[in-house]
């Protein structure tokens, strides 16, 4: 499986990163070795001094497809969840300055903790789902999928023009405003609405 991450999908986050507004979805990949499941701890990597959380709604691809039209895209995912797109911001900044790919800042081992998945039909409107991250009991990032620049179907349609989607692939749909650093011993709890989805520690 592969992890497809959307960048710059919330206007206020685009502004906070001083990035240009995208005309089409921007995406990058993480390898399957980035996955962390079952609330296992995140071990702070030695190669960065500035690991940031990015809290994101995720969804799982349920059948193979390519060149998927937007109007049929809803058939390709059934479940959503929550993930953290951990980013080595210091390394990313250096990559951007040099015009290099971002992989070392985004695709490193354990950079993608994911929650359990919930059937999407539990939600009356997928483009109106609130979510948040608390660190040590304090809310640090809040978002709502209504603020996404590109909807779930648009993301599926766009990415599948270039890359075949396969069963089990996971999309990270972008982070809202409010990214920030984590440090060793932090307790991260992330929620969809008021349901606890992720609960793990930085070690």
Q: Using CB under 5 A as the criterion, which residues of the chain lie in contact with Mg ion when the complex forms?
A: 54, 85, 175
Instruction: Output 8 or 60, the one with its CB closest to Mg ion.
Output: 8
C-beta of 65 vs 156, nearer to Mg ion? 156
Q: To the nearest whole angstrom, how small is the minimum distance from the Cβ of residue 3 to Mg ion?
A: 11
Give the nearer residue to Mg ion in terms of CB position, either 86 or 200: 86
Q: Strand pairing partners for 26? A: 7
Q: Phi/psi of residue 77, each to 5°?
A: -145, 145
In whole angstroms, how close is the CB of 56 to Mg ion at the nearest point?
6
CA 124, CA 107: separation in Å to the nearest integer? 33
CB of 172: closest distance to Mg ion in angstroms?
6
How far apart (Å, rounded) are the C-alpha atoms in residues 115 and 127? Answer: 19
For tokens 């919330």, the residue is: 10
3-7 β-sheet, strand order: 26-30, 3-7, 170-172, 55-61, 77-84, 118-119
Residue nearest Mg ion (C-beta atom):
85
Nearer CB in complex with Mg ion: 48/65: 48
How many residues in total does the chain contain?
A: 203
Q: Which residues pair with 148 in a beta bridge?
A: 10
- Alpha helix locations (H) across the chain? 11-16, 89-98, 103-106, 152-160
The distance of closest approach from Cβ of residue 200 to Mg ion in the complex, given in angstroms and rounded to an integer, is: 18
C-beta closer to Mg ion: residue 27 or 65 = 27
Alpha-carbon span 179 to 50, nearest angstrom: 12
Q: Among residues 63 and 101, whose Cβ is nearest to Mg ion?
A: 101
Task: Write down the least CB distance from residue 158 to Mg ion, Å.
Answer: 16
Count, in order, helices (H) and strands (E) of the chain. 4, 15
User: Residue 9 CB, nearest distance to Mg ion (Å)?
Assistant: 8
């Amino acid at each position: 499986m592969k992890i497809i991450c959307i960048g710059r999908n919330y206007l206020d986050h685009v502004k906070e990163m001083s990035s240009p507004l995208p005309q089409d979805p921007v995406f990058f990949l993480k390898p399957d070795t980035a996955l962390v499941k079952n609330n296992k701890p995140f071990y702070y990597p030695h190669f960065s001094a500035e690991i940031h959380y990015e809290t994101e709604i995720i969804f799982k691809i349920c059948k193979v497809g390519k060149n998927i039209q937007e109007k049929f895209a809803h058939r390709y995912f059934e479940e959503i969840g929550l993930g953290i797109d951990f980013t080595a911001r210091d390394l990313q900044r250096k990559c951007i300055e040099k015009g290099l790919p971002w992989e070392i800042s985004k695709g490193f081992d354990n950079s993608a903790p994911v929650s359990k998945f919930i059937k999407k039909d539990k939600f009356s409107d997928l483009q109106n789902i609130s979510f948040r991250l608390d660190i040590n009991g304090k809310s640090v990032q809040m978002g709502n999928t209504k603020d996404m620049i590109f909807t779930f179907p648009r993301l599926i349609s766009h990415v599948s023009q270039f890359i075949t989607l396969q069963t089990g692939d996971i999309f990270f749909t972008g982070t809202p405003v409010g990214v920030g650093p984590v440090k060793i011993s932090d307790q991260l709890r992330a929620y969809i609405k008021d349901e606890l989805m992720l609960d793990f520690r930085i070690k």
